[in-house]
Chain A
Amino acid sequence: MTMDATEIQARARRRLAIDRRVRKDPRYQRVIGRYVSAGLLQANHAVAEHAEPITVDDVLYVGRLEPRVLELLPAAMIKTPRMFAIPKTLPADLKAVVNSLRQSKEPADFRGVKGAKLLSWLSRIGRKNKLPSRLKSFRLQADEQRLLERISQKLELSETDVVRKALRELAAKELLTD
């Protein structure tokens, strides 16, 4: 190491002064206040918590100083979307990550955050252990549709839940007994 402790401290203080300006920025205050209020982050210093939606642009800005907000952003957009004022058009890298997470797939790394870390938050924020569902379309014959409706009424389940139940029972019978 070529620097001595005094020089390191002096240079760090100059960098810290820049960081502190960012921390005083209203965008930083809004984003951190919302994350803490939502229980996504914990702070050991005073934070003005609030429940107003925050913009994705502000989160991306704050993420340059505090990458933890980026780590949580894609999963939070899916699991707690009311936290955000989500624009119609997202940055391409964020959109790709969100699309992967919606399919419960590990996304590519996002602005320095590992894909595996981004995925790990999906089941741990919002409704715990609840992963996003995906749309799948099937064509049924008329008699099969009537059968689905009758079972749905008989079991007092939605048609989707009937399919889920049947799938699990079939899996238990055909797969797990191997």
Chain B
Amino acid sequence: MRYDSLLDSLGGTPLVGLPRLSPAPDVRLWAKLEDRNPTGSVKDRAAFFMVEQAEKDGLLPRGATILEPTSGNTGISLAMIAHLRGYQMICVMPENTSIERRQILQMHGAQIISSPAAGGSNEAVRVARRLAAEHPDWVMLYQYGNEANARAHYATTGPELLADLPGITHFVAGLGTTGTLMGVGRYLREQVPGVAVVAAEPRYGELVYGLRNVDEGFVPELYDASVLTTRFSVSANDALRRTRELLDAEGIFAGISTGCALHAALAMAAKARKAGQRADIAFIVADAGWKYLSTGAYSGTLDEAEARLEGQLWA
């Protein structure tokens, strides 16, 4: 397939069946390979739509500086687009994120400001908000509250899924900014009566939940619980185990957040089978495993890998 430029090749990702992990001929799992996007993750869709919208709104004059709290993929997507379009990019990211992500961001010309590991992305959001207030000329696209993030999935990922899988019964994705689930979920709910929209939420180690009190919590502005039908909390151990199963059984080398989504997808598959219902369950492969090699997720025993992930933001 031919495109005028890398950015023009955004989306249109393959949906592949998982014949070995699907539990029955009429209960099938399908993986949407979002690692086949320009910078290798699902975040390219949101980043592209957010930049386009900001340009339309006149928020990004020539040479403008984009600021974003991000510990990974959104930053990489934004940094690539910003570099091509002549913007400066500053990422605020927790210090406990993998070295690969930092190096890729730097390759795309982004500047990195570290936020304390304790508090995870909550803390990165706080630091970014403070910086935005101190530098009114910097533009924070703010993926957690930017409607263009969810709209990217409403306009592209959702229609792609339905076109490839008209009989879709379940959609499963990781819950972060909530953009993928809100956008795809809204689209599918309009088109497919009774479709299940399932969130898989990574359950981190204690460090990430090191808030001083529960009133300091964070719920993304994009989040609308009425779009979801179920929300699963997935441990690092389960996410790692599924990430390895996906590689072992189907040959798909995915990042750890994909294992999280697969775990929830398999739970839905087991429920459907038990109830004797047919199911076509699509889930998102958010990115490939390359960026997480240094976390040790793919070597040694599961317990060893889990111990190495303690305190890390693995999804």
Tell whether A and B belong to one assembly. no
